[in-house]
Amino acid sequence: MDFLELAKKRYSVRKYKDKPVEEEKIMRILEAGRVAPTGCNAQPQRIFVLREKESIEKLNQGTRTFGAPLVFVICVEKDLCWVRKYDQKCISDIDAAIVTDHMMLAATDEGLGSCWICYFRPNVVKEVLNLPEGVEPVNILAVGYADEEPLPSDRHDSMNLRKPLDDLVFYEKFE
């Protein structure tokens, strides 16, 4: 599938079938998260895979994963992340975001639905995953077979779900 076609096909799925995701698909999604670029190639991502109902239920005490049978929690080992010397900005969230995005699009490519989730209680997630000091949960990615009619790929325009390029893009300088 052409890249833009894939990007436009993806949408946030918030209703999943009670059907497990095949191991080969999980491995290809994880591989996408492995090869994603990170600042200075620090590779700070620590990706947790939750497939057991009991673990997902525990996680759901601190978030909502919409009945997805597979949940990834993308964490970062913060001390490994690059820090910009001019303003001390630590790029850990950016590293986690590109890893998550690679995985999310890989899930779409596998015919799966997904939902990126930042609405969670960090303390609950840390406890459920038994995270050591210094490993921070950044994103949750719920994945599974969508239990709903897919949204049309042209919805960004036909349903007015995205702003036009003119509102988002500036050439040479702000005007």
Ligand X SMILES: Cc1cc2nc3c(=O)[nH]c(=O)nc-3n(C[C@H](O)[C@H](O)[C@H](O)COP(=O)(O)O)c2cc1C
Nearer to ligand X, 119 or 171 (CB): 119
Alpha helix segments (H runs only) across the chain: 3-9, 23-35, 53-59, 92-109, 122-129, 155-158, 165-168
User: Closest Cα partner for 139 from 169, 116, 106?
Assistant: 116
Shortest distance, position 46 Cβ to ligand X, whole Å? 18
| Residue 61 lies near ligand X (rule: CB under 6 A) | no
Instruction: With CB under 6 A as the rule, give the number of residues binding ligand X.
Output: 7
Task: Decide if residue 115 touches ligand X (CB under 6 A).
Answer: yes
* 8 A C-beta contact, residue 36 and residue 45: yes
> Does 76 contact ligand X by CB under 6 A?
no
Among 27, 40, 118, 159, binds ligand X (CB under 6 A): 118
Our finding on whether 96 is near ligand X (CB under 6 A) is no
Among 29, 91, 117, 128, binds ligand X (CB under 6 A): 117
Q: Quote the tokens at residue 142.
A: 């719920």
Q: What CA–CA distance (Å, rounded) separates 12 from 47?
A: 20
Between 27 and 161, CB nearer to ligand X? 161
For ligand X, the binding residue among 119, 170, 171, 174 (CB under 6 A) is: 119
Burial of 156 (0-12, 13-18, 19+ CB in 10 A): middle
User: Does 82 interact with ligand X (rule: CB under 6 A)?
Assistant: no
Rounded Cα distance between 77 and 68, Å, is: 26
Site string for ligand X, 7-26 (x = CB under 6 A): ----xx--------------
Q: Which residues bind ligand X (CB under 6 A)?
A: 11-12, 115-119
